[in-house]
Structure 1
């Protein structure tokens, strides 16, 4: 979509920031509530409708950036968007292609008119009697009565700090930068992280070269399928933290890992053998503390360190609103920011999953309809 004019402020009832699963779900429910998608906005202070702003060049949310070797049959966490079934696809098709196509069709079918690419720099108080927020972007300003933030985590990869990291002579990359296991043929790769992505990439890389797997905590494999009951229990634990104003933890940290047939084969083949976290990084590899030897070696030579260490919520643009409390997180009531109910965070904390994101989009719109009397 072409850029709307940037010489005047545009005003809407609701700005949605992000067009991934959570953002599209919220936009769908705004349309269901009778609001029109208005990328051009209205005159200053004359509000109406909503706009979705997305920083990606095309539809697909974070899925469009996933590594090429991730096929639909191995892609976890896919859930259909509200009001449109996920079509059957070839299980060998790249997830980045199939899901992006589904998201694009969804935007078109529901006339969501997403504005992209647009980078939101900050959200501030406008001041004055209207109680509006100013959303400042690289394509002008939008004034809004309410904001649904659905920026997810993809833009905020987490890189832990370890002694000697800057001295490593090999390659270091994060999950988000991974493209293909073939890039590391013949190289020894240390994979750091205990989540699903770490295990999936480890199994791929181990097919063509040697690997070492390290995690801070021993992985907990659960001999059960990840079902709805398990998911609800995990969401409840994360919800407890956000209601207390604590930073949300990853879902895997509270659920453990389902012991799939693929993972069991990896264990049987000696690939999924976890070592404790190394003490420091040296130019040619990693070194463990004396108390960790055994089971860890004293020193492991490495050509590559792959940090599969997760992501953090992309909320830097909300910093001018001073939402974080003493616990380091934002005190939440479901999707609603307790300190400022005009702000709804979807895809944050308990809604940081595809199923949770759909529910959160509906809840956020319900909250704003009540607050703003839409």
Structure 2
């Protein structure tokens, strides 16, 4: 048979899924390797989706999404960022991943370069590679608390660089970019005439620090604005399987966006959109309880890691802990997490899933039940 295209053959394996699916095949294992919220979805959200089906409202919606949902996303974004965006800049997408793919499709041509954090979420590389673009990793170092440095990023900018990828709060790190540094990153993009794609999946979950979107510092007029913001309800409301999110775009792209949406997805399923309206406009108890749960789990797991002498990054957001297991991983943390699963029955995501700087580190998910989390972390070998 004919060969697949080279850019497909070269897409790296997602090591998060690799270890998680191995854990799912292992009876009785504790799965701490995937970011899957564990709370029941609020009843009013489920009923909104079911009511849509009961009405047989299963036809196409506008490419950009239901007007009421676009306005709900815009209203939340205005509240979160203080920016005065209008609903015509919001495009409803099938989860943050499709939003990222859509933004990269708009901005990257073959051979164009996109600057991606290392460590950073693996689909940043996977998606840009599928679009024939060239991912260039900018380093996030432990001695800098895994925060980006302007000089490191600037040194990697070339005539082919088109996009700067930002992710705060960070998956896998739990790091949150402070406001002043975010302002400098937007200015860097302005000076070098780069687009910014901002992945803000975890914007609802920060601890003692604010979430600051680069959109706060973006230009206000067509031709000045450069920030695309990818949002999702998967993490905020536990709607991972409904595949619902939004891409907030700079002004002036309405016609092009509708054409691109039509060619990729046409529109998002109606029941998911109505469930999203209910989530965004209804009671917010779920979000408050989830934030409390993740913070409590973070504090409890951090205490265990500290008692074992295992270095870790003090997570300021998202729902992960980033821990250094280099004292036992032997320079191959990907192989080590599989051995640990086989021997101890616990799965963690290997740091190399997120880039070369992740060697020796693991990502611990804080989503699940406290006892499962503590049992799993307690099995980690202490640092001598």
TM-score, normalized by the shorter chain, greater than 0.5: no
- Over alpha carbons, which structure has the higher Rg? 1
- TM-score of the aligned structures, taking structure 2 as reference length: 0.28
The structure with the largest strand share of the pair is 1
The structure with the largest helix share of the pair is 2
- TM-score of the aligned structures, taking structure 1 as reference length: 0.29
Q: Which has the higher contact order (CA 8 A, sep 6+)?
A: 2
